[in-house]
Amino acid sequence: MAVLWPFDHAGSAAIEALIDRHIEAVLPPRQVQRLRDALLQMGYLADLSGRPTLCTLVMTAAWALGSDSGVTARRHPFLRQSLCRAVEVAIAL
């Protein structure tokens, strides 16, 4: 895993540009809703297991994926970082 991260500035910028160019195709609204539902379930399980910090973080990420949050998928930090890591892993393969 250490080989994958961190990319140099140029590599990270290239990955960010790819995400900006393709995020709507990779994550259409229906897929974003599915991710939101999954995060809500994870937050619920974190709450049940007595992990309040994790619960709060996951529920906040889920809330930001809702249509009423005003945060677009393009600007959502959790989604962007998830996509960055997925691209880094794909490049390493």
pLDDT in tens, 46-59: 999 999 999 999 99
Residue 2 clears pLDDT 50, i.e. is over it: no
Residue 73 clears pLDDT 60, i.e. is over it: yes
pLDDT at 14: 87
pLDDT at 1: 43
Are 82 and 90 in contact by the 8 Å Cβ rule? The answer is no
Domain span at 37: 9-92
In a domain, 1, yes or no: no
Count structural domains, the chain.
1
Give every CB contact of residue 87 below 8 A, 6+ residues apart in sequence.
Answer: 15, 18, 19
pLDDT at 90: 84
